[in-house]
Structure 1
Amino acid sequence: MAVRTAPGKWPVLGHTPAMLRRRFAFTSALREHGDLVRLYLGAKPIYFVTTPELTHQVLVTDGSAFEKGAMFDKFRPFVGNGIVISSGAFHLRQRRLIQPAFHRERIAHYAATMRAAVERLTGSWRPGQVREINDDMQALAVTITGEALFGTEFGTAAIEQARESIPIVIRHGMIRALSPAFVEKLLMRGNRQFDNAVVRMRAVVLDLIARWRAEDTDRGDLLSMLLMARDDGGDGMTDDQAYDEVVTLLSAGIETSALALAWLFHEISQHPDVEARLHAELDEVLDGQPVTGDHVPRLTYTRQVINETLRMYPIWILMRRTTSEVDLAGATIPPGTEVTISPHALHFDPRSFPHPDRFDPDRWSARRADSVLRGAFVPFGAGNRQCVGNAFALTEMVVTIATVAARWRLVPVPDRPLRVKYTSTAYPARLSMSVVPRT
């Protein structure tokens, strides 16, 4: 199959609030030019894959022939060589060391920690109070991930620092990744905030690692498991390696969960039929009891709502770089070539998802979900690069929704319209909602 070269230039990504699909229409339009499309960044070619089949090949079938691409290179100076950034044998080693911390039995244990954090948040709500749900979900995600990583007895300082610093690292880190290299050297307030946040976070996490090594005690948190883990040669992580993984887990876990939860509450507020079915399932399955890990697999419609939210609000692009020669759609792609996937374009492709602009959780019912092609839905990536914490994030979302919606409805505030900003995805910059008790 011939490679098509798309006309036009790489788009400039701005922050003007607009409809999500209009903002990212550029990558969606590439499918009109073929399965594999060549663009140019200056004189350098970059290839877009536009079909689920090629996406599955890049991420899974030929996944070992790819490493993270140019965008991720920009993250390495401040996120380090954590599992999201690292490549090759080192990445495989780190993944094997980290994987046991996210075993389903461990995640079921964390469900109680998740629920307690949500109950503390919602316990402060008052009937009729207006909340900025985007801020609440961001703070909640920091608390849940921080408590799972550091525990509550010794990790208070680290959790507080994460609450202050990680949102800055995520926000300005993405801006740096999408900007020319000279931008990060400018004497700008955002650059100072970012650099200071990295320094503060590093100091408090390394202090916690030093305290753990001095005590050498399993406290049941993720950090303990990271530091106790040993590879086949009996070696564990160095302090710097453990720090890189902690910051990676904080950054990746917080952003995905916070965004999905904020958008989910927005969507169900716009779809009363979805909200009614969600409440009915929660009432039936929970029967007035607090949600536990045992309830999670039984909340099937709740998970359908989550999947549909993840479909509609994914990251814009993922980049990969070939480490060896690869054949894509009949074209030979040499080593060192950037290959790009757009989860947003895939998730809004009407060939995979009819009426893609419609919020329809029923498309994830057992009957319909089986027809979705591999590679068409990639909210957490796939293959050897799939997010190691995806089951943790999904459990966090279910527990949060079940705990909030069992007691409250979140209702839009008419005189405070939704505001959206854009970097790698759509962020609700202001999502004002009134909390109304369920009767």
Structure 2
Amino acid sequence: MTPRYEASARHPRPADGFRSGNAPGRTPVVGHLPQLVRNPWPFLASLPRYGDLVTVMIGPRALHMVCDPDLLHQVLVDDRTFDKGGPLFDKAREVLGDGLPVCPHAQHRRLRRLVQPAFHPTRMPGYSALMGEQITEVIDGWQDGQVIDALSAAHEIATGIATSTMFSTRLDAATLAEARQCVAITMAGIYRRLLTPTALERLPTPANRAYDRARARLHHIVDQIIDEPGRDRTDHGDLLSILLAAGSSGTDGMTPQEMTDQVVSFFISGITSVASALAWTLHLITDRPEIAERLQAESDTVLAGRIATHDDLPRLDLARRFVTETLRLYPPGWIFTRRVSADTHLAGRRLAAGTVLAYSPYLLHRRPDLFAHPERFDPDRWLPERAASIAQHAYVPFGAGPRKCIGEAFTLAQATLVLTSITACWHLRPVAGQTVRPALRATLIPQRLQLEVDSRRT
């Protein structure tokens, strides 16, 4: 792919075909922090015009934002040189430890091999059956004409699914509600601490105390589940069974701390990422009624008013494209960082070991030179004849390379099953007068989204 900038005598094209630059609007002392705190998304969208690798300052710290899909692909496939790290992952490790999504390169291969069996395709039918039970439990509790908080409903569904598929057990309602609250507090805290000087993190402010309590309580809940009396190492079709087996696989097995880190990591990511995708999906159903009607027609044809199952997935083509397009517009992980592990060059710039890179799926997914009418929600752009024209490496909601999200198939199946089950059983309408905007969190979520639900069941 040809890089999208014009070379000149003053700014010649470097040997690798990419160009680096600096973001404008830097303020003394704080750098570009005001733009990232007030409204980061327009700022991110503006960066590609200044180069393929653009330096952004967060106070005295430099982040080199990768703005080109081909350049990003170089970074993501070389996870030894461009290791998981930087401010975002440093803060995430306070909660996730060395969980698979955030662990360094040196540990990743072994941990991924031990966790991989839990995400084997043969396990998806069993997971899907559990998903169906949790979907039914939540949406059968809605009342005709009720106004629901879409994000809360999405979190309730995602938490129930995460619990049942990970632990082959059920938590009581109070513990589930507490776990959801702990996840919400920690995710808000991770992004806040990303933009806060380290010295301020140690102050006993209400936000810092709430973050520390939520982090500790979440780990305590998980440890109680792992150490539940009577739990054996039999494969019950859940993630924890796989991890317990991995913990007894000789010298190469997981340590107890590694096991806790994996469970916490997948529990949090399984709730936050899925809930984000589901909430935005429900918003887009109500925002584009003509597409919602098509989606309802597909659900009616395939499901006839029942809850979707794994066997239905091959016939839910529009729903799958709907989810794919939602993840383009609103990728749950909207910004990530990497740390350079050894001196290298990128986009004509020398990067010393320790340099921090960043990339944003949100930025790439909304580039008009990569996606036609990028602000338009258009599931049909993923029809095979149209998707073939989309630039390679431009769509990265799950990352790429060796660190690509291990739960991609799980997440896509879950979002599709929830979406079609809801549209088969309920009609959704937005509450008048609300403006839906993203909230400043480590995961992209709608700030306020209330919907009225009307039963479609006769």
The alignment's TM-score, normalised by the length of structure 1, stands at 0.91
2:79 to 63, 79, 82: 63
Which is worse superposed, 329-338 or 254-263? 329-338
Does 2:36 match 1:38? no
Specify the SS of the correspondent of 1:277.
helix
Specify the SS of the correspondent of 1:216.
coil
Question: Which ranges of structure 2 fall in alignment gaps of 5 or more residues?
Answer: 1-13, 27-31
Give the residue type in structure 1 aligned to 2:254.
Answer: M
The aligned runs of 1:127-166 (5 Å cut-off) are: 127-152=144-169, 159=176, 161-166=178-183
Specify the SS of the correspondent of 1:115.
helix
2:326 to 301, 309, 321: 309
Q: Residue 58 and residue 420 in structure 1: after superposition, are their counterparts in 2 closer, same or farther (change >3 A)?
A: closer
Q: Which residue matches 2:9?
A: none
Q: Which residue matches 1:378?
A: 396
In structure 2, C-alpha distance between the alignment counterparts of 1:296 and 1:206, rounded to whole Å: 35
Does 2:436 match 1:414? no
- Higher RCO by CA contacts (8 Å cutoff, separation 6 or greater): 1
Specify the SS of the correspondent of 1:258.
helix
In structure 2, C-alpha distance between the alignment counterparts of 1:3 and 1:154, rounded to whole Å: 51
Q: Which residue matches 1:180?
A: 197
C-alpha displacement at 1:159, in angstroms? Answer: 4.3
In structure 1, C-alpha distance between the alignment counterparts of 2:348 and 2:84, rounded to whole Å: 23
In structure 2, C-alpha distance between the alignment counterparts of 1:23 and 1:88, rounded to whole Å: 29
In structure 2, C-alpha distance between the alignment counterparts of 1:43 and 1:173, rounded to whole Å: 19
In structure 2, C-alpha distance between the alignment counterparts of 1:214 and 1:280, rounded to whole Å: 45
1:330 to 339, 345, 348: 348
Does 2:211 match 1:189? no
Q: Residue 268 and residue 207 in structure 1: after superposition, are their counterparts in 2 closer, same or farther (change >3 A)?
A: closer
Q: Which residue matches 1:199?
A: 216
C-alpha displacement at 1:333, in angstroms? Answer: 2.5
Does 2:141 match 1:124? yes
C-alpha displacement at 1:195, in angstroms? Answer: 1.4
Work out whether residues 158 and 201 of structure 1, in 8 Å CA contact, stay in contact via their aligned partners in 2. no
Give the residue type in structure 2 aligned to 1:306.
Answer: V
Specify the SS of the correspondent of 1:414.
coil
Q: Deviations over 1:80-102 (max 9, x none)?
A: 11112211231111111111101
In structure 2, C-alpha distance between the alignment counterparts of 1:266 and 1:288, rounded to whole Å: 21
Which is worse superposed, 74-83 or 288-297? 288-297
Q: Which residue matches 1:345?
A: 363
| Count of paired positions | 433
In structure 1, C-alpha distance between the alignment counterparts of 2:95 and 2:40, rounded to whole Å: 28
In structure 1, C-alpha distance between the alignment counterparts of 2:341 and 2:195, rounded to whole Å: 23
C-alpha displacement at 1:414, in angstroms? Answer: 1.2
Work out whether residues 136 and 307 of structure 2, in 8 Å CA contact, stay in contact via their aligned partners in 1. no
Does 2:406 match 1:366? no
Specify the SS of the correspondent of 1:48.
strand
In structure 2, C-alpha distance between the alignment counterparts of 1:45 and 1:392, rounded to whole Å: 35
Q: Which residue matches 1:228?
A: 245
Q: Deviations over 1:244-301 (max 9, x none)?
A: 1111111112111111111111112111111011111122223444311121132111
In structure 2, C-alpha distance between the alignment counterparts of 1:210 and 1:127, rounded to whole Å: 42
Specify the SS of the correspondent of 1:410.
strand
C-alpha displacement at 1:158, in angstroms? Answer: 6.2
The aligned runs of 1:259-338 (5 Å cut-off) are: 259-314=276-331, 315-338=333-356
Q: Which residue matches 1:19?
A: none
Specify the SS of the correspondent of 1:295.
helix
In structure 2, C-alpha distance between the alignment counterparts of 1:232 and 1:148, rounded to whole Å: 22
The alignment's TM-score, normalised by the length of structure 2, stands at 0.88
The aligned runs of 1:423-438 (5 Å cut-off) are: 423-424=441-442, 426-438=444-456
Work out whether residues 150 and 158 of structure 1, in 8 Å CA contact, stay in contact via their aligned partners in 2. no
In structure 2, C-alpha distance between the alignment counterparts of 1:419 and 1:122, rounded to whole Å: 25
Q: Which residue matches 1:394?
A: 412
C-alpha displacement at 1:430, in angstroms? Answer: 2.1
Q: Deviations over 1:360-387 (max 9, x none)?
A: 1111111122222232111111111111
The aligned runs of 1:204-223 (5 Å cut-off) are: 204-211=221-228, 215-223=232-240
Work out whether residues 187 and 442 of structure 2, in 8 Å CA contact, stay in contact via their aligned partners in 1. no
Work out whether residues 15 and 421 of structure 1, in 8 Å CA contact, stay in contact via their aligned partners in 2. no
Does 2:259 match 1:242? yes
C-alpha displacement at 1:309, in angstroms? Answer: 0.8
Q: Deviations over 1:308-353 (max 9, x none)?
A: 1111112332111111233323333332211111211101000111
Give the residue type in structure 1 aligned to 2:234.
Answer: T
Give the residue type in structure 1 aligned to 2:142.
Answer: W
Work out whether residues 93 and 231 of structure 1, in 8 Å CA contact, stay in contact via their aligned partners in 2. no
C-alpha displacement at 1:304, in angstroms? Answer: 0.8
Give the residue type in structure 2 aligned to 1:254.
Answer: I
